[in-house]
Amino acid sequence: MDIVLKTIKERRSIRNFKKKDIPDEIIKKLVDALIWAPSAGNLQSRKFYFVRDEKIRHDIAAAALNQNFIAEAPLVVVGYTDRKIENRYGDRGVHLYSIQDVACSIMNMMLTACENGLGSVWVGAFRESDVFEILDMPNNLRPVVIVPIGYPSKIPSAPLRVSAKEAVEFR
């Protein structure tokens, strides 16, 4: 099996983390995975905050509707869209392309995390205004995803997937 497809199939949503720091060399790989993702017009209209501070992680977990597992991860990555894409792609760029840019980057990062023995989970349920304030962001940024990352305490079995026939239609 190809290494990328193998990693895709092994990745799981992890919500239980060991109390173990992530080495800087792996953090650098996660950053590389983020910045090498494709983006609309190569504008790279995205920004990522890497949060290791325990108090800030707890504040983010509270803003994420008290999903406390977020605070237990040694690293929390918050992905933001950047309105600078509006100059080239207008409203569609702001409300679609920039979100797609962040999603591509985050998926790259989550797969790289898995490949390096880390677990992660995509969190979309949170109060944007709270996260905006917690991280004291500039007005051109909008938080769209929170990703806690760490060494998994346990790895769940693979969830069922729809069949290829249900998911894909050839024409």
* CA count, 13 A, side-chain hemisphere, 97: 21
Measure the CA–CA gap between 91 and 1, rounded to whole angstroms: 41
**Domain range list for the chain:** 22-153
Structure confidence by residue, pLDDT tens digits, 122-164: 999 999 999 999 999 999 999 999 999 999 999 999 999 999 9
Measure the CA–CA gap between 70 and 27, rounded to whole angstroms: 17
Alpha helices in 93-142 (DSSP H): 98-115, 128-134
CB 119 within 8 A of CB 113: yes
Query: What does the angle CA 35 – CA 120 – CA 100 come to, to the nearest 5 degrees?
Result: 45
Put simply, whether the predicted model's pTM sits higher than 0.75 gets the answer yes
pLDDT for the residue 26: 98
CB 24 within 8 A of CB 33: no
Could you tell me the pLDDT band of residue 86, with boundaries at 50, 70 and 90?
confident
Look up the CATH superfamily of 22-153.
NADH Oxidase (3.40.109.10)
